[in-house]
A and B are shown apart, each in its own frame.
Chain A
Amino acid sequence: MLRSLRTAALGMAAQQLNVDTISNNLANVNTTGYKKNTIEFQDLLYETIQTGSASSYETAGKPSEIQIGLGNKPIATFRSFSQGNIEDTGNSLDVAINGNGFFQISRSDGTYAYTRDGGLRINSDGYLVNSSGLHLFPEISLPAGIAAVNISQNGRISAIIEGQAEPEEIGQIELATFINPAGLRAMGGNLFEETEASGEPSYGLPGEEGFGTVMQGYLEKSNVDVVQEMINLIVAQRAYEINSKAVKTADELLSLTNQLKR
């Protein structure tokens, strides 16, 4: 009925999405390797209700064209891949990436996923897996009877096997980078999937140019800044409230219109 009623409702819906995004960030403040998400808004189409005429252009020096906007829309969620805090865990199979790059995980359907979560485990077959039990790629199998595992900054994994004096080299961690990591699709379980927007992965070893180094005994925490998120939450809530006032005003105007005829 009234344009403004729908416009304000769109404004409320957008703020609701904003609150959803912020809550998800706050819920994942302690999630290993979580990358915060922000949502971006843009204005919608404009409806021209009065076009500028040539005569008014000449007299007033400008066309008195009237365009009325129809609200806003969320255009993109933008994931920030800035480095999260790196925390000491003391676990020799926890690996954090300091700098660019993702661990590559092979999924059960044969496709690959990418993650910053380096909390690795050894499964019953002796393979290195992530916390959900998916294999790290390239696959690394650990021999039986391991006393200690050492992972160098360049991702070389060596193990000291009981009864042997010299450490034995057993594998190499490879990293993947993307030209546009913000285009990766989040799959849940701290995993990301390559998309058309992210581009194809390029592979390399930790410490090579353009790739970060790996740090054994550390985990990368989320990069969520709680104070910033709380401020965003306040802004979103107030914006929601103000848009609801616009709905109310539109409602009052309609009610007054209704009372025109008694």
Chain B
Amino acid sequence: MNIQLNELKSVLNAQLRKNDVIANNLANMNSTGFKRDVMFFDIIRQKTGNATQLNLETDFSQGPIEQTDNPLDLAISGKGFFVIEGEREQAITRNGHFSVDSEGYLITSSKNYLLGEGGRINLSLNGQDVRNIQINNEGEIYADDQYLDRLRIVDLENYNSLKKIQDNSFIMPHSKSVHEVENPIILQGHLEGSNVNAVDEMISLIEVERQFESIQKVIHNHDETMQKTVNTVGRFR
């Protein structure tokens, strides 16, 4: 009897975790380039223990591409990630909202440098101000028709090993499956929105709540049965 209660407890805890994931998706409905997480449970009990096995997958499907008309807003249509130089390590992201720092380098909102094939990308020609910037579909950057650099766009064969860090980016994995994308499709003046779908998340919220409720009912029934066992069955008349 006690063992069953333990199992139910782990199911309740798993539902709470799932709710955390949904809440995070909903909070990031408007975060540029955010990829939603989906939590699911293994039905088959693991040999090692009674705990419900939790699994988390990130959904890497394309988010909606919105027009912004800002020349430094870039969206990748299809596969690929921008490469940025973080404080400690390189990271990859789908968030294409860039700006220029006071030295003319292209940076993300969290002040990390965007990397091109030649390293950091400086948009100022000979210390001059940033002028007319054109970035074509292949990611080649031109300032006043003068070629500057080409964006580094990488992709992986398997996204499972990607680890999220804050600021809508992922740690660059040290695996061999990382490769440069030959023909990326870069859209200048566009941003990729978050791929969170409000309908899906609301349905998941309802599911979590009702499943939680039904498990709660089961615990109640167990409790009642045990109460009967203790107080009625064992009573002498």
Contacts and interface: CB of A to CB of B under 8 A. Distances in A.
Chains A and B are bound partners: yes
B23 A46 contact: no
Contacts of B165: 45-46
Nearest to B46: A56
Interface in A152-194: 177-180, 182-183
Given A42-B95, A243-B27, A259 B21 contact: no
Interface stretch (A24-32, A73-81, A90-98, A114-122): A73-81
Contacts, number: 195
A18 B30 contact: yes
Interface stretch (B80-88, B113-121, B124-132): B124-132
A144 interface: no
B167 A4 contact: no
B101 interface: yes
Given A67-B163, A68-B17, A180-B99, A235 B30 contact: yes
Contact of A210 (B101, B131, B198): B131
Contact of B20 (A7, A196, A262): A7
A128 interface: no
A18 B32 CA distance: 14
A195 B158 CA distance: 43
B23 A250 contact: yes
A72 interface: yes
Nearest to A47: B20
B32 A41 contact: yes
A249 B31 contact: no
Interface residue tally of chain A, by bracket? 35 or more
B27 to A, nearest CB: 3
Contacts of B99: 78, 180, 182-183
Nearest to A44: B166
B234 to A, nearest CB: 21
A179 B163 contact: no
Given A65-B56, A66-B56, A260-B219, A42 B27 contact: no
B129 A210 contact: yes
A72 B31 contact: yes
13 contacts: A7-B27, A10-B27, A41-B31, A46-B166, A62-B161, A65-B56, A69-B28, A78-B97, A80-B70, A179-B130, A210-B131, A245-B205, A246-B26
